[in-house]
Structure formats: C-alpha cells, structure tokens
Amino acid sequence: MSEHLSSAEIRNRFLAHFEGRGHTVVPSASLLLDDPNLLFVNAGMVPFKPYFLGQETPPFKRATSVQKCVRTLDIEEVGKTTRHGTFFQMNGNFSFGDYFKEGAIQYAWELVTGDQASGGLGFDPDRIWVTVLPGDDEARHFWKSVAGLPDERIQPRGLKDNYWNMGVPGPGGPCSEIYVDRGPEFGPDGGPDADEDRFLEIWNLVFMQEELSAVRAKDDFDIAGPLPSKNIDTGMGLERVAYLLQGKQNMYEIDTVFPVIERAMELSGKKYGAAGGDGHVDDVRFRVVADHVRSSLMLIGDGVTPGNEGRGYVLRRLLRRAVRNMRLLGYQDPALPELLPVSRDKMGESYPELVSGWDRIAQVAYAEEEAFRKTLQAGTQIFDLAAGDVKTSGATTIPGDKAFALHDTYGFPIDLTLEMAAEAGLSVDEPGFRQLMAEQRERAKADARAKKGQHADTGVYRGILDANGPTEWLAYETLETESRPLALLREGAAVRTLATGDVGEVVLDRTPFYAESGGQVADAGVIEFEGGKLEVLDVQRPVRGLVVHQVRVVDGELPADARLLHAKVDPEWRTGARQAHSGTHIVHAALREVLGPTALQSGSFNRPGYLRLDFGWLNALTPEQVHEIEQVSNNALRADLPVGWQYMTLGEAKDWGAIALFGETYDDRSVRVVEIGGPWSRELCG
C-alpha cells in the first residue's frame, strides 16, 4: 500500500470512480429521513427505497452517494472494538434495473485494487477475500472471471451474513461482502469465516431482487415476491477503509475522529494508548468521547434536539455519555465547548451545513451539557441522602430501586452510582437495578410496538397505485373536477359499494382535494354522484402518489364502478386553510427577524381560523420579544405583502436563501418555494 489517504480523499475517489462510470452523484440525505420504521437513516440505500420497491420512478438508472448513517443499537460496544461507531458514512453505488452482479463486482474490484496513482484505493489484490451466499454460483463465477480470485478466497456464508434486508419489511437480496486481510498478527488464518477482526469487511454488495413482507431475524423472513427489477445496492464503510488506508488500528484513530481524542488528552492530562495494550479503560473512554461528540454534532446538525424519547433521547444519551466520560478521565469543566469545535473543523469539510449552522448547533449542545451538570449536582445530593440512610440502618448496600430512581428520575448513570457508592464504602444492588431496567425496557418496547401499529398496512394502497398509477392531483389548479372512482375501501379492504351512513375510503383517478401535508389540514368538501353524495372527512396520501379520501355517505349508494363523480372542495374552507398556512409562514419569518436565524420551525398545524407553529428555543420568550414578533407579523399583514411561488431545484432554492426544514425530504428535481414579500419570507413548501 502506498500513500495514506484522508477520509475526504477516499470519499472523493469513491464518488469520482462511480461518476466516471455513469452514476449521478446524489448528496447525502438528512439523518432524519421520514420512514416510520427507522429512527435514523442507517444505510446508504434508505433514501432510494421507493425506487427499489418500484413505488417511484428513479430519475437516474445509476446513482452514487456518501450517506450519513447513525446506528445506536451497539452503543455499549463503542470504544471496546475496533469498528463500532454510532455515526459512520456509507459510500454506495446503486443500480435501478441497470447493471447487476457482474457490473457491481467489476466496479468494486476496479476501485478496491486500482492503483492509487490512477484514482484507485490501492489494496493488494492478494489480500482480498470475498463471501457469497451458498449456491450463488453467478457471484462466484464473476469473482473468478472479473477479479481473478481463486476459489479458496471466495467463502460461502449463510443467510445471516450473505442475505441483506432492512430488518423490517422492504427490499432485500443475496449479498457478497469484500474483506481485507490485515495480516497474521491480527488473528488466525482461515478467512472471514474464521476471524472478522483480522479479515475486516469493507464493502457489501447487495443484489437487491426481492420484496420482504416480514422480517423476524437476519436469516428468518418471508419473501413476498420479486422486485419489479433487479437492482444493486452497495455499502462501503468509509471509516473502516480510512483506518486501513491510514495505517491505524481502529476507526477512532482516523483523521476525522482522532483530533477530538488529542484535545481530550490535553484537557484531561491523561494519555491515550499509555497502557500499550488495547482496551485499557481510559482508552475506551477517549474513544467513547470522540465517537459521541461527532455523532452528536451530526445529529444536531440535522435538527435533532435533546429530549426524553425517540431521537431526542438518543442524542441526550450521546451527549451525556461524552461529558460523563470526560469526567471519568478527570476533566470536570464544561467539555463540549472544547471538543465540539474540533469535530466541526474535521467534519465541516464534507458537510458545510455544520459550519453554516454552527451557532445553533453549539447553543443546543452546550445547553444540554449545562443541564446535565445541574442534574449531576442534584443527583449527588440525592445519592448522599440515600447513602446516609443505608449507613444509619447499618446496611452496606444501596437498594436497586434507589439506584433505579437516581437513573430514571435524575438521569444519573449507574456507573456513576457504582463509583460513588464505592467511594462511600458501599455496594449497590446491581441485579435489582438491572431487573427494574429490564422491566422499563419491556414497557418501552411495548409502547413502540403500539405506536408502529398506527402505520396501518400500506400494501392495499400500493396495490391500487401499481394498478392505476398516481392520482392526478389538481389541488393547486382547481377546486372542482369530474372524476371516476378507482377503488372503494372499508376498514382497509376493497368493497363493491358504500351505502348511506357508511364511512369508508375512496380513491379517485383525479382530485382537487388537498391532502394533509406540510402542516396544512386536508380540504373539506363533497363528492357527488348520481343519486347521492359523500362528505369528505379527511384526505391523506398513505403512499406517495396516491390520494385517498375518507368519506361518509350522506345519501345514496356508491358503486365501485360508478362512471362519473363530481369532486368539490369547499372554497371557504380552502381559503381559511391557506390563510392560516400563510400566517404560519409570516410568524416564522417574524420569529427569525426578531430572534435570529437559529429560530427554526419544527412543526405546524394550519386549519381555517387556527394556526400553530412549534419551534425549539432554549428559554421562554420575554414579553418584549413576543410583542415584537406580533408587531412584525401584523405589519406584514397590514402591508398586504404579495404571495408567490415557483418551482426550482433544491440547489437554486438554497442559493435563493429559502429555508428548508429539517427532517423533510425534498425531491431534488423540483421543489416549491413560497415567498411572501420577496426575500422577506422564502420557504420550501410542498
């Protein structure tokens, strides 16, 4: 291997390699892509899922990206192994019904073993091993014919390793993994099947060809049928490749992560790697700090704020673990103001939004550290009381429920309780504590299951979409159309008629009804047919492209094969909803004018006569601020500022200064920008 390649260089080489082979370079999506099954984007393919499933037509046949990913299932493993990171980047190339196994293998081989001087990564071909699904003779064949690999370095491994799925229903397929042999000093011979530390997986090529209807485990799932086309989804771990190409022992020592460890060394006065061996407890702490600081930076960058559930809780945990580990390293002062900027300087090169959004990011992170410091203080008092009680009663063990209360109510981590107990000459009933934790986890899981159930099975809607194509959606053009029903549903199943009094769903070939989105309530109105009338109760898009009306039959009986319907939006309702929605844009602009650009809307709801705008702010607003925001808003109304909209690319919209809200996904070909009073208020608004 020749030169050391920086992470940015590896990233650029990857994208250039595939761009030179006809792939469109697609920017990383936000970590918060809207998928009810995923807390965070955890693989490069997630933004492309609708293309694989055939729900949407891809605008390109080939794409390549470097996608930000977060996986926190293994948070306890961070720092203890060479390769567990909560944030990582996945380099990927994707084919949507274009090239398949042979192309994927050839492109990967060229990049992995290509000469560094001519843009490749320069791995020694003799150190490459691959795995294939037993029976996948095609993949084996191409590894031999294209790459010239000998049979003994093509290992068959079962479904667990060589069939990839999302862990939830979705696309999947056999895969083939590429490993680099780091050498005998790292473990026994025998290929990836024998040792995955010595043989490090760097790239997974997935031959995406099936749709899974249920996934119980990696190797236990139901295949619903073939995907509309055969696709390629690959994922190369950027951090893993970086540590190999930078001659490091693990992902925490690479160029984009290690500087945080260096700063932590300066602050704590302790030395990373001092004990020589791997896994020294301080080394693990340094790595946890570096990993968590970077992940927190990326999550806040994409709009997550600390909270007590879901994404916010993950962020809170990461931030607090980072702070806590700095304390364990002996550093007591606020640590994030020292560490976060180091991470920003390294990651900002590839993610400029970290630089432009820095003020907001820093504010969120530092406030959380402050809050945690207060928690520690309060928790310490509670701990002292508990310890005092135990001692007075002549016992030596802090009961499990006390440790649990400290954790649950005061956010006091158990390792802190253990440590302080030891200092006080006491022990802790750890099994009791763990039992209570397990019970709490069970409750949380049951809760999550219940929440997921709300996303009813979308299969039936997908079937309607597949059979008929997308709804012709005329909400922006007209308030009335003549339409034909494509399907009638009751309780999620197709029916032949809807009779007086029934509540059901109607899918039309075309509709003027606005479906709830962007915080604006669905249109109200009626659908008339010969001999009867439906009242529209709600309008939703359960799958992209398909508009579904929830209706109540006011009178008559609607047959599924009715010829002609009149869909009529209530014009007053629509006007009211639009006014409320414009009002939200105005209040948002006023907020930003008064509070500055870190004030960002996080949610909204608009219906006639009512608007609500949510935004996160660290302190309550002062009466003066509220008054000023009201004045700015009212002035905008009095001035009767002109409202207009136009379509442009996401890049153009950003250049134009339009605000894009975090967590929303936009179709890059064409976003809708609404402006009020010219540049005063410009927002992406679908």
Near ligand SER by CB under 6 A, which window of 40-48, 115-123, 280-288, 570-578?
A: 40-48
Print the binding letters for residues 132-171 with ligand SER: x by CB under 6 A, - otherwise: --------------------------------x-------
From 38-46, 52-60, 123-131, 338-346, span contacting ligand SER (CB under 6 A): 38-46
Q: Under the criterion CB under 6 A, does residue 318 sit at the interface with ligand SER?
A: no
Question: Looking only at residues 583 through 622 of this chain, which bind ligand SER when binding is defined by CB under 6 A?
Answer: none
Q: Which of 28, 65, 72, 234 binds ligand SER (CB under 6 A)?
A: 234
**25 or 275: whose CB is closer to ligand SER?**
25
Shortest spacing between CB 227 and ligand SER, in angstroms: 14
Residue 21 or residue 541: which is nearer to ligand SER going by CB? 21
Q: How far apart are CA 173 and CA 207, in angstroms?
A: 5
Partners of 538 in the β-ladder: 550
Between 41 and 336, name the residue whose CB sits nearer to ligand SER.
41
Interaction pattern, residues 188-227, with ligand SER; x per rule: CB under 6 A? ----------------x-x---------------------
Distance (Å, whole) CA 622 – CA 681? 24
Binding mask 70-99 for ligand SER (x = CB under 6 A): ----------------------x-------
Q: Which is nearer to ligand SER, 202 or 521 (CB)?
A: 202
Ramachandran area for residue 666 (φ above 0: left; ψ -120 to 50: alpha; else beta): beta
State the burial class of residue 273 (Cβ atoms within 10 Å of its Cβ: 0-12, 13-18, 19+).
middle
Q: What's the token pair of residue 423?
A: 């200092």
CB closer to ligand SER out of 3 and 74: 74
Q: Which of 148, 157, 145, 142 is nearest to 128 (CA)?
A: 148
Is 376 a binding residue for ligand SER by CB under 6 A? The answer is no
Closest distance to ligand SER from the beta carbon of 335 (Å): 32
User: Is residue 47 a contact residue for ligand SER (CB under 6 A)?
Assistant: no
CB of 42 to ligand SER, least distance (A): 7
Least CB distance to ligand SER at residue 136 (A)? 16
235 binds ligand SER (CB under 6 A): yes
- Nearer to ligand SER by Cβ, of 163 and 433: the residue is 163
- To the nearest whole angstrom, how small is the minimum distance from the Cβ of residue 162 to ligand SER? 11
Q: What CA–CA distance (Å, rounded) separates 420 from 386?
A: 11
Closest to ligand SER by CB, 92 or 532 = 92
Closest distance of CB 336 from ligand SER, Å: 30
| Of positions 181, 210, 233, 291, contacts ligand SER by CB under 6 A | 233
Cβ of residue 58: shortest distance to ligand SER, in angstroms? 16
Cα 304 off chain centre by: 10
Give bridge partners of residue 535 from the DSSP assignment.
526, 552
Both tokens of 303, joined, read: 């709009």
Residue 158 near residue 202 (C-beta atoms within 8 A): no
Give the 3-state secondary structure of 125-154.
Answer: HHHEEEEECCCCHHHHHHHHHCCCCCHHHE
Q: Shortest approach of ligand SER to residue 166 CB, angstroms?
A: 8
* Minimum distance, C-beta of residue 190 to ligand SER, in the bound complex (Å): 23
Nearest distance, CB of residue 28 and ligand SER, angstroms: 14
Count of CA atoms in the C-beta half-sphere (13 A) of 18: 28
Query: How is residue 287 annotated by DSSP?
Result: H
Q: Helix-strand-coil percent breakdown of the chain, rounded to 5?
A: 40, 25, 35
**Residue 44 touches ligand SER, criterion: CB under 6 A:** yes
| Cβ proximity to ligand SER, 204 vs 417, nearer residue | 204
Does 241 engage in binding with ligand SER (CB under 6 A)?
no
Question: If DSSP codes are grouped into helix, strand and coil, which group holds residue 105?
Answer: helix
Exposure class string for 487-521: b at 16+ Cβ within 10 A, else e: bbbeeeeebeebeeebebbbbbebbbbbbbebbbb
Q: Which stretch binds ligand SER (CB under 6 A): 42-50, 146-154, 397-405, 586-594?
A: 42-50
- The CA–CA distances, whole Å, from 570 to 472, 473, 478, 549, 608 equal 19, 16, 11, 14, 12
Which tokens in the block code for residue 115?
Answer: 């000469």
Q: How far is the CB of 1 from ligand SER (least distance, A)?
A: 24
For residue 319, CA distances in Å to 204, 296, 358 come to 31, 6, 16
Of 39-47, 242-250, 265-273, 567-575, which segment contacts ligand SER by CB under 6 A? 39-47
Q: Are 168 and 215 in contact (CB under 8 A)?
A: yes
Assess 43 for contact with ligand SER (CB under 6 A). yes
Residue 544, SS3? Answer: coil
Q: Does 31 bind ligand SER (CB under 6 A)?
A: no
Q: Is residue 45 a contact point for ligand SER (CB under 6 A)? A: yes
Q: Which residues pair with 203 in a beta bridge?
A: 178, 236
Which residue in the block uniquely carries the two structure tokens 């070939």?
A: 509
Instruction: Supply 60's token pair.
Output: 């390109």
Beta carbon nearer to ligand SER, 235 or 303: 235
User: Nearest 10 degrees: CA dihedral of 549, 551, 557, 560?
Assistant: 20
Cα torsion 106, 109, 113, 117 to 10°: value is 50
- Shortest Cβ 246–ligand SER spacing (Å): 22
Binding site for ligand SER (CB under 6 A): 43-45, 92, 164, 204, 206, 233-235
